[in-house]
Chain A
Amino acid sequence: MLIDSSVLASTLFALFVVGTLYLVYRATKQRREVTDFYNAGGRLNGFQNGLAISADYMSAASFLGIAGLISLFGFDGFLYSIGFLVAWLLALLLVAEPLRNSGRFTMGDVVAFRMRQAPVRTAAATSTVIVSVFYLLAQMVGAGALVALLLGFTNPEAKNWIIVGVGLLMIVYVTVGGMRGTSYVQITQAFLLITGATAMTVMVFANFSFDLNALLDKAAEMSGQGIAFLEPGGRFGPDIVGDPVATLIGKIDLISLALALVLGTSGLPHILIRFYTVPSAKVARKSVNWAIGNIGAFYLMTIALGFGAAALVPREVLGMGVNSDGSLVNTSGNVAAPQLALELGGGDGSLGGAFMVAFIGAIAFAVILATVSGLTLASSSSFAHDLYANVIRKGKATPAEEVRVARIAALVIGVLAIVLAISSQGLNVAFLVGLAFAIAASGNLPAVLLTMFWKKFNTRGAVFAIYGGLGAALLLLVLSPNFSGAANSFIPLATGFDINVFPLRNPGLISIPFGFFMGWLGTVTSSERDVAKYAELEVRSLTGAKIEKPSTH
């Protein structure tokens, strides 16, 4: 049905791909040293890195997922926007600058700083790869959903080929361009995303004579839920009449999600390594503030995108059809943003509509590509730098060998992500990302914070914190209704397989405190203390003494 827009979208997207491939190619011309692969030589400025951070962070979950949730469930979808933004204060105040000052390439650099290298780096690499692959999965699923709409077919084979295409491009960006090339792709993407979102926001408001209340009223009316659409409880922790236990569990689940969102950001490996791409802690701080400005502006615009879609696009279109019992076929809402673009451009069959869908679709592809590239880079550099160079080769690998291993790892992880994504379509992207945040907050954040701020913290504490938090989060996920025993579980109800014994869909409320607890437990049961190394870590983290000089050309 959307043949025009699919041709246009393909053209625009091809332009983006050609442009970014050129940027990546140019980046390789500038490369002189091995550090370029890991941290772009530490030579980005605050504005550039701020844009790149925004691109890494504002993924398909933000653009497609949040807009979709708001369009179907109203106010509750906006809670994601708030959590995703507020989380940056933790990164700004406690993580970005100390991390920049005391590490070089990976999260493992900082966590293993004053510990025995092999066990801690192994744990850090394990956790980095698991978090990144989970997050990658979410992005690739988003890519598939988008294609279904843009190219107008629901043929799963076509979706799979697009996932393969996105995966191959990301592998090229990372293996050829490294951190520098990937950063250029991300900067381009952030610029496109902000432009596109701003254009759509202005167009939505123009439809309602720039009256916010008119927009909200129309959205409430079109949702069929009336004023309740604008109030909390549409999606998370709804008040279920006659079942106080289920009601309470739902509410606790919301708090658990909120905790994961606000603590997860500072534990995401692909975000943490971005702080290494600038020359100093001061620039890292500036780049976080640029990112907060960009990200905050974008998330404010999700109000217009989400409620705009609810007000202007019929609900059955947002839900991709209606079942015979009146329920929506697909409650992920992932197609809300492109559908809104179609409507804003003049509707189905109009040239303007085709152009807008193509424009927004191309941006969404760029968004996904930039994020998956960052994730692939984070996991492959952790594998190469933490696991291969420091554990397997015990620090004896040459930089060239290290980077070769990183490139191979990027290829393997990329292929793995493609295969996993093809087998797990149909889940809401923002929801999947919420889970990735919970795993990051449980497995990584306790170790990162404790090593920087707790003098006694030691090897066993770090290892316990990472495996404990990670293990708890993964175990609780498998025992939750996400995995089995509910209508929309990963394993269909019809199979009769049911190990659903943990009622929360988001494990953060239990697994994050558990990660901190295990960090404490491991520490106090081991007598290891490296006083001098802690002195070095503390002085370096707060002053930048002995920081790696940016590469010079």
Chain B
Amino acid sequence: MATRTEEDVWVDAQQSAEFRAHRKRYRSFVFPFAVGFLVWYFGFILLTTFARDFVSTPVWGSVNVAFVLAILQFVTTFFIAWLYDRYATRRLDGPGRDLKRRVESELAQC
């Protein structure tokens, strides 16, 4: 059997079912959340730009809708950051480590 080159190792790893599943687990979390937070952020910006009467509605004393939405931006940012770390720790770190070990041991044989 012909010796494998490093290039073969990388391409085979990329095509492997394990890596594809790993990539899917990563992307199925980060893509929707990235799109989601951008939509939510720009929704907030558009409201403060074009719906000024609405966001100026007082909610609690002098605190108006704009303030409440602004604070919610902080809350969702903290929440998504926490959620992603939990997801990555539980679902991504382990498979990533296994793949890393496998690829590195195959590279060592080249």
* Residues of chain A having any CB pair with chain B under 8 Å: 75, 78-79, 82-83, 85-86, 88-90, 92-94, 97, 212-213, 216-217, 220, 227, 230-233, 236-237, 239, 251, 254-255, 258-259, 262, 281-282, 285-286, 288-289, 292-293, 296, 299-300, 531-532, 535-536, 538-539, 542-547
Contact = CB atoms under 8 A, between A and B. Distances in A.
A82 B11 contact: no
Interface in B1-53: 6-7, 10-11, 13-14, 19, 22-23, 26, 29-30, 33-34, 37-38, 41-42, 44-46, 48-50, 52
Contacts of B13: 535, 539, 545
B77 A85 contact: yes
B77 A89 contact: yes
Contact of B73 (A86, A259, A285): A86
Nearest to B93: A282
Interface string B39-73: 00110111011101001100011111011001101
A538 B14 contact: yes
Contact of A292 (B30, B49, B81, B99): B81
A535 B23 CA distance: 12
Contacts of B78: 292-293, 296
User: Chain A CB within 10 Å — which of B7, B62, B97, B107 has the most?
Assistant: B62
A236 B66 CA distance: 14
Which 10 pairs across A and B sit closest by C-beta, in order of nearness? Answer: A213-B61, A532-B7, A535-B14, A536-B10, A232-B48, A93-B30, A535-B10, A545-B103, A231-B56, A216-B62
Contact of B81 (A92, A236, A543): A92
B64 A230 contact: yes
Contacts of A237: 49
A239 B81 CA distance: 36
A94 B14 CA distance: 19
Interface in B63-110: 63-64, 66-67, 70-71, 73-74, 77-78, 80-82, 84-85, 88-89, 93, 96-97, 99-100, 103-104, 107
A543 B103 contact: yes
Nearest to A282: B93
A289 B99 contact: no
A89 B34 contact: yes
24 contacts: A75-B66, A82-B41, A217-B62, A227-B62, A231-B64, A233-B52, A239-B52, A251-B50, A255-B45, A258-B45, A281-B96, A285-B88, A288-B81, A292-B78, A292-B81, A299-B74, A532-B10, A532-B11, A536-B10, A542-B19, A542-B22, A542-B26, A542-B99, A545-B103
Contacts of B6: 536
B102 to A, nearest CB: 9
B52 A545 contact: no
Main secondary structure of the interface of A (DSSP, over half): helix
B77 A93 contact: no
Nearest to A93: B30
A542 B96 contact: yes
Interface of B: 6-7, 10-11, 13-14, 19, 22-23, 26, 29-30, 33-34, 37-38, 41-42, 44-46, 48-50, 52, 55-56, 60-64, 66-67, 70-71, 73-74, 77-78, 80-82, 84-85, 88-89, 93, 96-97, 99-100, 103-104, 107
A285 B89 CA distance: 10
A535 B7 CA distance: 8
A255 B46 contact: yes
Contacts of B55: 231-232
A262 B11 CA distance: 35
Contact of A300 (B33, B74, B88): B74
Contacts of A289: 81-82, 85
Contacts of A212: 61, 63
Contacts of B49: 232, 236-237, 251, 254-255
Contacts of A75: 66-67
Nearest to A286: B85
Given A78-B70, A230-B67, A543-B103, A262 B38 contact: yes
Contacts of B97: 543-544
User: Chain A CB within 10 Å — which of B30, B73, B100 has the most?
Assistant: B100
A546 B100 CA distance: 8
B109 to A, nearest CB: 14
User: Chain A CB within 10 Å — which of B22, B73, B81, B104 has the most?
Assistant: B81
Contact of B99 (A83, A251, A545): A545
A82 B74 contact: yes
Contact of A232 (B60, B66, B100): B66
A85 B44 CA distance: 14
A240 to B, nearest CB: 13
